[in-house]
């Protein structure tokens, strides 16, 4: 695959810009990257070399032009012809949860109930009594769809409360120790917009869905400062190894203090947009907003519904496998409107999770209402996930200026079983990347880590090929929704910067922007799409400083 051609006017303009930028530099270059194939994500296609002064791009262009900025103190990095591009921006992560998951039991790839039990039992042996076992991120579809029960793990975790998430974050399994700690038993009342799954005798099985999860989640002791610092460290190392230099962190565990501590120690290796929960909009509005190079605040994120895999996403019509079940709203329409309206009046950026077609429709209605009531401004409203859109709502995103913040890995994961849940007609506009782009919607990509792997390379592969994880769709699941490589790269770079009001600071390799970039093992434009996921991140740079190098 070749780079998309630009018009001759743009190429001439770009070359003049390169030369002009080089001539304007009358100071030294601290670092020069040379002998590279540079994809800049801005107005020109490729360059060969880049000069960096302090943490900022000083010039970019041909090797000959950039060499003029060389001094005796300049460090020269030979890229050896490798592909260089802006650092990835992951527009939807749960940083503290993900870091904590790396320090807890991992169940993401467990394929049998027996292995599920064994991993938890083995992990429990390493812990002291009273230590909670958290995160997990299991997927019951991998062993046929049977939901786990507390009896699977109770005998091995008598002294350790267990609360482990299904990978989508909208269902947990709690063991008997955790249920007892939270005071949940057969007499516990049902929860609105949630479910306590019970056996035939009315006893809780340990599965709690949506709002019912809060019965136990609210009882879990908060992470200590030390635990937060450790979670941040391992999460940062993880993302840098995947070429991610910035994340939009949907923060429910109050990680900001850890980010600030790391920044004060000059140990913060990743740039973070820290996003507060929407119900805490007043608290978020009263904070001293950060807008520096490393930490940014000033946004809130809410929920409309749950997820497809847990049957908690809200649809207009029933699930195909459970016709009387349409999912449900986690947040009432009244609260959703009041919180969004109030947050908007405080000039907070608003991000809201909506997955089912009914949830998406109602959220777009809510956004339309506050735009009319609160007046025009540059809001950059975001709809997180936007997975199952009614065809009549696709055009509304661009008309309302709503950014579709999507996670392409979910498409190749859910694509294994989604049609059984919502039927052949509704999947036509499921993960509708191409339809949204054709309707002029701004799309940004992320991972939803730890719900899914935090690898943009894998996400790009998913968006371009839509090959499901089970190998059953070699030509792509709902192939008409595939997009081009360049569109996917833009969604992980400059579009991500736009989605946090930071496009003038990062997201492209442009003079004056931060020198956040990565070097890849292969040029993705020259790789067969089916092999895109085999590309490796060789080096990651934040502000011109190498922060990751793959061991060879």
Q: Is residue 63 located within the same domain as residue 124?
A: no
What is the number of domains present in the chain?
2
Residue 545 lies in a domain: yes
**Which tens digits make up the pLDDT trace of 253-308?**
889 999 999 999 999 999 999 999 999 999 999 987 777 899 999 999 999 999 99
d(CA 92, CA 338): 24
Residue 65 lies in a domain: yes
Residue 156 lies in a domain: yes
The residue to which tokens 């997201």 are assigned = 507
Residue 273 lies in a domain: no
**What's the whole-number average pLDDT of the chain?**
93
pLDDT score of 46: 74
The residue range of the domain holding 182 is 96-217
Domain finish residue from 191, 217, 243 = 217
DSSP annotation string for 485-520: HHHHHHHTTHHHHHTTT-TTTSSS--TTSB--EEEE
Q: Is residue 83 located within the same domain as residue 104?
A: no
Which CATH number goes with the domain that contains 157? 3.10.310.70
* pLDDT band (50, 70, 90) for residue 526: very high
* pLDDT band (50, 70, 90) for residue 552: confident
Q: Is residue 164 located within the same domain as residue 128?
A: yes
pLDDT score of 169: 84
pLDDT score of 289: 73
Residue 257 lies in a domain: no
Q: Which tokens go with 393? A: 């709502």
Q: Is residue 48 located within the same domain as residue 78?
A: yes
Residue 184 lies in a domain: yes
Which CATH number goes with the domain that contains 529? 2.30.40.10
Domain finish residue from 172, 202, 217 = 217
CA distances from 406 to 93, 183, 242, 502 (A): 11, 37, 18, 19
Q: Is residue 129 located within the same domain as residue 205?
A: yes
Are 162 and 153 in contact by the 8 Å Cβ rule? The answer is yes
Q: Is residue 190 located within the same domain as residue 105?
A: yes
Report which of 475, 471, 488 is spatially closest to residue 535, judged by C-alpha positions. 488
Residue 10 lies in a domain: yes
**Which tens digits make up the pLDDT trace of 393-427?**
999 999 999 999 999 999 999 999 999 999 999 99
SS3 for 297?
Answer: strand
pTM equals 0.89
Contacts of 317 (CB under 8 A, 6+ apart): 326
Q: Is residue 7 located within the same domain as residue 103?
A: no
């Amino acid at each position: 695959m070749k780079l998309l051609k630009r018009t001759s006017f743009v190429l001439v303009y770009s070359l003049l810009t390169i030369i002009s930028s080089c001539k304007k530099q009358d100071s030294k270059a601290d670092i020069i990257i040379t002998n590279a194939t540079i994809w800049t994500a801005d107005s020109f296609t490729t360059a060969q070399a880049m000069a960096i002064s302090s943490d900022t791009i000083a010039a970019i262009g041909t090797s000959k032009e950039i060499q003029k900025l060389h001094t005796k103190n300049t460090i020269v990095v030979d890229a050896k012809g490798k592909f260089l591009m802006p650092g990835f921006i992951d527009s939807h992560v749960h940083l503290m949860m993900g870091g904590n998951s790396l320090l807890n039991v991992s169940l993401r790839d467990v394929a049998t109930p027996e292995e599920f039990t064994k991993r938890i039992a083995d992990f429990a042996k390493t812990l002291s009594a009273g230590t909670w076992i958290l995160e997990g991120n299991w997927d019951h579809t991998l062993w046929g769809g049977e939901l786990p029960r507390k009896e699977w793990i109770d005998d091995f975790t008598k002294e350790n409360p267990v609360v482990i998430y299904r990978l989508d974050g909208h269902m947990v399994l709690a063991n008997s120790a955790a249920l007892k700690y939270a005071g949940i038993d057969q007499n516990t009342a049902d929860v609105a917009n949630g479910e306590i799954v019970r056996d035939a005798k009315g006893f809780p099985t340990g599965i709690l869905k949506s709002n019912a999860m809060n019965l136990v989640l609210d009882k879990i002791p908060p992470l200590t400062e030390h635990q937060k610092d450790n979670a941040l460290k391992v999460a940062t190392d993880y993302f840098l190894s995947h070429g991610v230099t910035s994340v939009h962190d949907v923060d429910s565990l109050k990680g900001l203090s850890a980010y600030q501590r790391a920044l004060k120690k000059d140990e913060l290796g990743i740039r973070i947009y820290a996003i507060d929960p929407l119900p805490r909009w007043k608290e978020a509005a009263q904070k001293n907003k950060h807008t520096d190079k490393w930490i940014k605040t000033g946004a809130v994120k809410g929920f409309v519904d749950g997820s497809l895999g847990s049957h908690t996403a809200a649809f207009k019509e029933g699930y195909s496998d459970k016709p009387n079940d349409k999912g449900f709203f986690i947040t009432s329409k009244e609260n959703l409107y009041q919180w969004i309206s109030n947050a908007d009046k405080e000039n907070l950026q608003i991000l809201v999770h909506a997955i089912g077609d009914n949830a998406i429709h109602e959220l777009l209605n809510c956004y339309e209402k506050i735009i009319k009531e609160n007046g025009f401004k540059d809001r950059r409203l975001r709809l997180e996930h936007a997975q199952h859109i009614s065809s009549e709502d696709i055009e509304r995103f661009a008309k309302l200026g709503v950014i579709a913040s999507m996670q392409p890995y979910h498409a190749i994961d859910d694509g294994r079983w989604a049609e059984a849940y919502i039927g052949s007609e509704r999947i036509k506009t499921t993960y509708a990347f191409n339809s949204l782009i054709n309707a002029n919607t701004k799309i940004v990509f992320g991972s939803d880590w730890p719900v899914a792997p935090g690898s943009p390379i894998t996400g790009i592969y998913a968006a371009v090929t839509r090959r499901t994880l089970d190998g059953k769709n070699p030509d792509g699941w709902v192939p008409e929704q595939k997009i081009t490589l360049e569109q996917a790269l833009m969604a992980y770079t400059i579009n991500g910067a736009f989605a946090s009001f930071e496009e003038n600071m990062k997201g492209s390799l442009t003079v004056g922007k931060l020198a956040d970039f990565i070097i890849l093992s292969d040029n993705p434009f020259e790789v067969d799409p089916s092999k895109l996921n085999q590309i490796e991140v060789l080096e990651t740079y934040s502000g011109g400083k190498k922060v990751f190098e793959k061991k060879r």
